Structure 1
Amino acid sequence: MEETHVKTILKGMAAGSVLTLISALSAHAAPSCGDNTGEKATGEPIVIGAITGKTGPDDFSNSTRAAKAYFDCLNANGGIHGRPVEYLIEDDQWNPETARQLAAKLVDDQQAVVLVGNSSYVDCGANADYYKENGVLVLAGTGVPRECFFAENYAPANAGPRVSMLGAVGYAIDELGTESVVCIGPNIPNVGTWSCDGVEELAKERGFEARTILMDPASADATSIMLQAAAYGPDAIVLGMSKGIAVPLLTAAEEQGLNEQIVFLSAASAYDLSVPETIGPGWDDRFYVNMEFNDLEADTPDNANWLAVMDEYGSPSDPRDTFAQSGYLAARIAEKALMSLDPSDINRETVTAAVENVQNFQSDIFCAPWYFGKDQPRHNANSTTRMAVSKDGKWEVVSDCAASPDPELKDIRAYEEANGL
């Protein structure tokens, strides 16, 4: 994205964020949802589905939990012109066959008009073609594998691991003087390789070589991985692992004194409020993360509203993290589309058309307005991100919003330029 285009986006974002949720002035304000009637919706339910990986190797349901909290708030405030959302969440257990069965259940048996807040490692690959064949759209909360960003009917709210990782590497190159990098990713199909291939492509564009290490998240030895990475002599090491894997890697790196020699970065998967305190002062100004959304504690209208919704309608145990932000946003995008419809004429066809026409959804949680991208073969609207660094037991935001330099986004940038986005 050209610099002038970025400035245009951010100028529009600044104006739009003021209008986002005026009544949600702080995290302590009452949550703002729908028409804010304070009256429970009692009409005919609108069935919306979601598939998530709650049980299995890890609980990956944060996005769907946040989406549910928002829909509960919406239903308590008049719903969609009086009609409540019936939000049906299914757990694929990280199993592609289970994901296929659940998609059929939601789409065929339950007649869901749209799927919202999906967060799964297997849903995209298992069901992308099925969703297209059945004319149902997915407003995903958190997409991870490549298939989530290369499907006609699947549009995630998040940026994704590759775009996020390349946002981090771009910052390291431009701001920290990095000229050599090692990328460490999970050996999960279309996740680790896809992301680290992007790092290698960017490094080649900038005139230096990058190395890749793929690791088994369940069994790899953190010390061995760190020593292997350090042996390449990089200026920077970028991680594409979840928080639960990234922290042991950083601990092992510090034990070897690598935090004193090499800059460490991460995709947004390590952006969690607990991480700076967990890894300790040895990483102050030495561990940078990409942020797919706004600061988790930002006192801006929509971010404050997300926190207020989670506090009143979520569970205290529901994480307030970047994945929860994305689920909240997916639910709000769905609400915007549904609110544009005649409540007596809400079905899969009308909802699909309404979602496809979402062109300028603004929130201060996003860096830039979100859009579906009608007639586009794939979707990656969230590709402008921030950076933060660990310092004094907290995250300190160190950059303004910047477009990810991922070479794979050329088609996305062309679409945005052509449509004034």
Structure 2
Amino acid sequence: MRTPFRTLAAIGATSALLIGLAACSTTASSNAGDAAEEPVRFGIALPDTGNSAQYGEYFRQGFDLALEQINADGGVQGRDVELVFEDTQADPAQAPQVAQKFIDDQSILAVIGDFGTPATSAASQLYQDAGLVQFAFSASGGAVTDPGDFVFATWVSQEFEAPRLAEFASQTGESAAVFYHDTDWGQETFGYFQGGAEEAGLAEVYSTAYDPAATDFRPLLLSARDANPEVIVLISYAADGALIANQARELGIETPIVGISSIYNQQFIELAGDAAEGVETLSYFTPESEDPAVQQFISDFTTKHDVDAPNDYAIRAYDALHIVAQAANDAADLTRQGVRDSLDSGATFASVLYGDFQFDPETRRVVDAEQTPLVIRDAAFTIK
């Protein structure tokens, strides 16, 4: 049974923070008291502005609920948690500058973020060299944690997810047209997808990389149509994937569409409109889950934010903050090194997406997890 999320940060005791600080002098006692009252601070790297700002909004929804719950349950080692937000625009050129800000601020015990593999990876080596945890909850690139032992990730690597997508698509058709981001993430994912497609017997009759910021995919779609695929596969984010689906239907292309898990987002349905109907994907989360802990989370989230269902990216942010807070709460020393060691201790962490899990000791990430096949029906993701 999963651990209730509201109790994740309520295990530690404030006395642990004061070990070694006791002294005979009144000054030392006063300093210890001051330290105990200071908040535990985590940095948040996210896109508040720019083309990916919508994802930053989703992240904030998840962080807001998690922060409220953690502090209501006693915070971390008896101290309130405080979040420090910095806007990267999910831009690989800006992410290192934000990383340096966090590194220079010695009060920051860990950094959670960024959005996407490119921006996340652009800052990873800086965090590693500085000995500051980078908790990458929204980056699925296979090499995300390669820079070293201060980098952790909770999105399952595309090494596992992309072949599974290929097998899933092969259940819909024997030949595929594949659209994938013309980015390091997209190209890497497509490479893993090709390996899975070969194993699943899925013929690749057309494939194209595309600029995720583009707005007209009609020429590519017409070329895909001419290849006569039985299924269209989207290695996309929600916004660009929705635009491809919409334009395909506008062109009269009725080929079934299957998308990677990153399209599991209400934004996809809103932007694709009627074209979203029948699109299939795989997800680690479904509102139809019978798990009481998941249903409690959904109730808490929808009540706080007045939405019908939580967004996948909000869930990932919520999980990330709870996990880092749990690690800090259990840390022998409430320091940057202590948080890292606690994350890497082999402990079991609770999450909405994966239930109870442990980080792989070699990669420091969630290496695999069960996904649920979903299909969009009546403007909602439902179990297929």
Question: Aligning the two structures, in what range does the TM-score lie when normalised by the shorter sequence?
Answer: 0.7 to 0.9
Following the alignment from structure 2 to structure 1, what is the Cα–Cα distance between the partners of residues 253 and 193? 21
Larger relative contact order (C-alpha < 8 A, sep ≥ 6)?
1
- Structure 1 residues 185 and 384: CA distance shift in structure 2, 3 A: same
Shift of 1:304: 3.1
Give the aligned partner of residue 379 of structure 2. Answer: 393
- 2:164 pairs with 1:167: yes
Following the alignment from structure 1 to structure 2, what is the Cα–Cα distance between the partners of residues 300 and 180? 36
Following the alignment from structure 1 to structure 2, what is the Cα–Cα distance between the partners of residues 138 and 309? 27
Following the alignment from structure 1 to structure 2, what is the Cα–Cα distance between the partners of residues 129 and 236? 39
- 2:74 pairs with 1:49: no
Following the alignment from structure 1 to structure 2, what is the Cα–Cα distance between the partners of residues 275 and 160? 22
Counterpart AA for 1:290? L
* Contact 1:113 1:351 survives alignment (8 Å): yes
Shift of 1:121: 4.7
- 2:81 pairs with 1:108: no
* Contact 2:242 2:276 survives alignment (8 Å): no
SS of the aligned residue for 1:338 comes to helix
Following the alignment from structure 2 to structure 1, what is the Cα–Cα distance between the partners of residues 60 and 155? 13
Give the aligned partner of residue 271 of structure 1. Answer: 264
Shift of 1:288: 0.5
* Contact 2:109 2:336 survives alignment (8 Å): yes
Deviates more, 1:378-387 or 1:47-56: 378-387
Shift of 1:354: 0.4
- 2:130 pairs with 1:137: no
Q: What's the C-alpha RMSD, in Å, of the aligned pairs?
A: 3.1
- Structure 1 residues 172 and 123: CA distance shift in structure 2, 3 A: closer
* Contact 1:33 1:70 survives alignment (8 Å): no
Q: Residue 295 of structure 1 is aligned with which of 282, 286, 290? A: 286
Shift of 1:145: 4.4
Gaps of 5+ in 1: 1-15, 25-30, 37-41, 399-421
Gaps of 5+ in 2: 12-35
Q: Residue 229 of structure 1 is aligned with which of 197, 204, 224? A: 224
Q: Residue 87 of structure 2 is aligned with which of 91, 95, 106? A: 91
* Contact 1:90 1:102 survives alignment (8 Å): yes
Larger radius of gyration: 2
* Contact 1:238 1:264 survives alignment (8 Å): yes
Following the alignment from structure 2 to structure 1, what is the Cα–Cα distance between the partners of residues 227 and 145? 31
Counterpart AA for 1:272? N
* Contact 2:90 2:114 survives alignment (8 Å): no
Shift of 1:208: 4.9
Following the alignment from structure 1 to structure 2, what is the Cα–Cα distance between the partners of residues 104 and 214? 33
- 2:250 pairs with 1:252: no
- 2:66 pairs with 1:70: yes
Q: Describe the superposition over 1:61-116 as per-residue Cα deviations: whole angstroms up to 9, x where unpaired.
A: 12354124312321133111311112112111233342112112112224422222
Query: What is the TM-score normalised by the length of structure 1?
Result: 0.75
Give the aligned partner of residue 9 of structure 1. Answer: none
* Contact 2:374 2:382 survives alignment (8 Å): yes
Q: Describe the superposition over 1:292-317 as per-residue Cα deviations: whole angstroms up to 9, x where unpaired.
A: x22145453332343345356x6558
Following the alignment from structure 1 to structure 2, what is the Cα–Cα distance between the partners of residues 187 and 265? 19
Q: Describe the superposition over 1:117-144 as per-residue Cα deviations: whole angstroms up to 9, x where unpaired.
A: 4434543322222222222222222115
Query: What is the TM-score normalised by the length of structure 2?
Result: 0.81
Give the aligned partner of residue 330 of structure 2. Answer: 340
Shift of 1:181: 1.6
Q: Describe the superposition over 1:339-375 as per-residue Cα deviations: whole angstroms up to 9, x where unpaired.
A: 3235xx3111211110111443244531x6432223x
Deviates more, 1:299-308 or 1:193-202: 299-308
- Structure 1 residues 117 and 84: CA distance shift in structure 2, 3 A: farther
Shift of 1:56: 1.6
Identity %: 20
Shift of 1:32: 5.9
- 2:148 pairs with 1:158: no
Following the alignment from structure 2 to structure 1, what is the Cα–Cα distance between the partners of residues 275 and 129? 52
Deviates more, 1:67-76 or 1:44-53: 67-76
Give the aligned partner of residue 218 of structure 1. Answer: 213
- Structure 1 residues 43 and 301: CA distance shift in structure 2, 3 A: farther
- 2:176 pairs with 1:191: no
SS of the aligned residue for 1:142 comes to coil
Counterpart AA for 1:270? I
